[in-house]
Structure 1
């Protein structure tokens, strides 16, 4: 764990030098070469294929761990080379058109996919690719752009990515960039009369805007800011994050439930419905547990258990033997809203497990497996009463894989490894294109219609979880490692 920010005790674990880890890279290369058809599979670009019906869901045969790890690494590099060929220096790749996308604001790029990829490239032993990405970030990433930036996304992606990049490379330049970004984001917190951060801040001027704040945006910052405070011996970041948490927690209902959106200036709920674990509240709960684990902060852990007991008591539902979570009025517990569940909520299976309730986590994971039984890839939103699609897109989300990794790490149960391989195989079959991987515009039980975007988080999360399950890499501490909501390794890089 990271030391408490007020008395930093950040460990510097012994590890192989970044670019001197030739043995691991050689092993991976040799493994890939030994897999029949591995190189051909890495180059092939399958179009959508027929999907087994829901009555007989496909269960692809499990390869050996080394073979699986080689395939996962090959697909990651297939995506990476698509990005480097067509979108180098830009935030995100459009793999079908060969174009690029600015994530935060048109005309402003931060090389987001490179920042997102730093620790994944390290874990996968892609040292040459890591050296190139690190060099670009160190030389070109500009935290002083005159642009209003989304605070939540900047913290989990840019600050988190740079901190994880530092922890895997020990580049002081990356840590300095993380500090500069955090300093330019702090006015969103310090300008707020309640401490709940505004949604946007101008990086150059410090001007803030956006006082109606989704719950996740109010609290998904303690892990990155706490880690940064510990690394720098500067409590300002940790203190800002904790002030925001306390401001929200002090406004919970008598049922210990929280609303969805809060006014950062007035401290009043704009939307007082509890929608956990759906967005836009999801990672608020995740960071209570994660912050407690990373920082050794018992207050955060206590808050996690308090709120989780309330969610389980008032929002649990069950359909066809599977648990789900419905929306309620935070003050009364009365049920409100439709029976919708977002794929983003699939992370909750792993969180429940990490929080000490493996049976509930396993059961909720099975709920999402039932959805994957019905569709080629997981759709964005379903109606859990009949598993029909509400939002037909599929945005290359990593939450199901995140939970598979978490539950596998907790239990060692091979069924989570099987689930991970099946999920990976589906993505490879349906969302792989010659230029990388792309989101889908429409998912039905029998087909997938492709869109044209590789989100930056693809390089941070999806295949990292799969790689960690199958590779048993010596570059990660499986016992003590801690990942952020964006899959960044904030503790446990070896």
Structure 2
């Protein structure tokens, strides 16, 4: 049985590569971010998150390890890796007995919380016991972001000299396991289109008569983990497979630069044309911008830029994002899904802080209304969805709260985090761990503690209150919350914005311009006014909607075009665009 020793970590300043410092405070707080009382409160809150993490982790070790996930109410386990994404529970193997999924997912959280002793014990247990030659059909996307991403990230952390593994010599065992798993993924990409099957058997490859249906996220959110694996091993097959799939997926976009939700990997045809930024598509957008930062390819930035403008034009309705038909841009479903709460965090990456804040505020209002965030919320009726009323301990709102605090240093976001922390302890904590909520209206519990609760929810809340792990470091977090370092050796060309000498730190908050991390590189034609050092330079992707009806009155309402970097003007009819001036 694994055990742990708690270690305290000190608070320090984080200089993050994409950090956007803004002097604008969108909310007021009773305590200033510079007030010593707030530092003490941050410390108390970080300790509460630490306690929450270890309550979940200890109970997993006691009642479920080495199976996949904990059932906290019955204090038992589920071998859930074969079930992830498998709504019909087809082809489940009775021989499968778990792969210590929650332990793998917890590795980077242990390091971030300073518990190197337990991290080391977990690493060597996996090195001695984990094997993937098992007859189990898994969801490629879920296994990639949870298991492959967890192993790759943990390998990088294990080889970081600051973590000082000393129990025995680390011989890259986690990387060897990751490479073995990556090789077992490759048969899924053997399709006429290069788009991977959603399902692969770890022992036998793609099963006969496997379904060709997959999601946009499922085949467009593989590049970070598989790309990192290629960079670490020198074997380009993993990155090439993921990149080929991503390029094929991008070629299937509509003339509006929108993508559907589900597709056929054998024919390359769309199955579901309705799309949005939620389930089935969400991490596709996230991985485009993060892949650009991690690998430095302009190709990823150009994809993201076009896709982001499409989202802003066809999905956005004030602070909300509805769903629309990829072919026409016409609205299809007016609903919030909890997975959409990642979007404000993505907007921080490109400098659209005001838009990120606006959407985040609406998500948090729904959280306050129910105590947690329901899986689906009907925007047109302002009520929870009649059937999808659950909250499975999702991390997305905590993630965006963390990014927005880092971008603004507004202590209001910490108050949001404190409210979320209190809700989780009040409504989901049980003696045997933390349980999902089956119905947000009644707070009826469900006997499942998802591995992402330890990999993401606890991690982002902890980083919100104690970011000392990130001081002086340069990381991108995967969609499952696993940190990957931004290294110049992985880049075709490292943008100046990401060089350590150019990072923006908390100490320089009053000297920093309010600027997008991309804008000076993408829009050099827009000059800075040296007489106004705090002027705002709009993000290269910024689509300004100054009024609720999305119509303009003057050219000032229209902002900068994300494609050409030219100033947009307001037409006589009241629409923003690039109009030919004769």
The normalised TM-score by structure 2 is 0.71
The range that moved more, 340-349 or 124-133, is: 124-133
| Aligned equivalents of 2:393, 2:432: Cα separation in 1 | 15
- 8 Å contact 1:354–1:410 — kept in the other structure? no
Alignment partner of 1:64: what SS? Answer: helix
Q: Distance in 2 between matches of 1:454 and 1:201?
A: 25
The alignment status of 1:422 with 2:419, answered yes or no, reads yes
Match of 1:31 in 2: none
Q: Give the number of aligned pairs.
A: 431
Distance between the aligned counterparts of 1:140 and 1:307, measured in 2?
43
Matched, 1:253 2:248: no
Is the CA contact 1:89–1:136 (under 8 Å) kept in the aligned structure 2?
Answer: no
Deviation at 1:366, TM superposition (A): 0.8
Shift of 1:428: 1.1
Contact 2:262 2:271 in 1 (8 A): yes
Alpha-carbon distance between aligned partners in 2 of 1:386 and 1:128, rounded to the nearest angstrom: 51
Q: Of 99, 104, 118, which aligns to 2:107?
A: 118
- For residues 492 and 314 of structure 1, the distance between their equivalents in structure 2, rounded to whole angstroms, comes to 32
CA contact (8 A) 2:8 2:114 kept: no
Alignment pair present for 1:128 and 2:117: yes
How far does residue 135 in structure 1 lie from its aligned partner after superposition?
2.5
Match of 1:52 in 2: none
Q: RMSD over aligned Cα, in angstroms?
A: 2.0
How far is the alpha carbon of 1:294 from its aligned partner?
1.1
Structure 2 unaligned spans of 5+: 11-29, 32-36, 83-91, 160-169, 488-582
Say which SS state the counterpart of residue 138 (structure 2) adopts: strand
> Are the aligned partners of 2:111 and 2:119 in contact in 1 as well (CA < 8 Å)?
yes
SS at match of 1:25: coil
User: Contact 1:409–1:478 at 8 Å: present in 2 too?
Assistant: no
- Equivalents in 1 of 2:77, 2:138: separation in Å? 19
More helix by share: 1
Runs (4+) off by over 3 Å: 59-63
**How many angstroms does 1:385 deviate by?**
2.8
Which residue number in structure 1 is paired with residue 62 of structure 2?
85
What's the CA shift for 1:154? 0.8
CA separation in 1, counterparts of 2:157 and 2:277?
A: 31
Q: Distance in 2 between matches of 1:113 and 1:126?
A: 16
Q: Deviations over 1:397-418 (max 9, x none)?
A: 0000010111122222222222
Checking the alignment, whether the CA contact within 8 Å between 2:186 and 2:238 is kept in structure 1 is: yes
1:122-271 matches, cutoff 5 A? 122-170=111-159, 171=170, 172-189=172-189, 191-208=190-207, 209-271=210-272
Tell me what 1:490 maps to. Answer: 484
Structure 1 CA distance, aligned partners of 2:153 and 2:62?
25
* C-alpha deviation, 1:78, in angstroms: 1.0
**Contact 1:87–1:93 under 8 Å retained in 2:** yes
Using the alignment, how far apart are the partners of 1:300 and 1:123 within structure 2? 29
Residues 27, 403 of structure 1: CA spacing in aligned structure 2 closer, same or farther, 3 A cutoff?
closer
Query: How has the CA–CA distance of structure 1 residues 186 and 477 changed in structure 2, closer, same or farther, with 3 Å as cutoff?
Result: farther
Q: Does residue 341 of structure 1 match 2:336?
A: yes
CA distances 1:9-48 after superposition (whole Å, capped 9, x unpaired): xxxxxxxxxxxxx9x92557xxxxxxxxxxxxxxxxxxxx
TM-score with structure 1 setting the length: 0.84
Quote the residue 1:325 is aligned against: 321
Supply the distance in 2 between the matched residues of 1:181 and 1:406 (Cα, whole angstroms). Answer: 31
Q: Which of residues 463, 471, 490 in structure 1 aligns to 2:466?
A: 471
* Residue number in structure 2 paired with 1:311: 311
Per-residue CA deviation, residues 190-246 of structure 1 (Å, 9 max, x unaligned), is: x11111110111111222533111110011110001111111122111111110011
Provide the C-alpha distance between the structure 2 equivalents of 1:296 and 1:317, rounded to a whole number of angstroms: 32
Distance 1:477 1:194, change over 3 A: farther
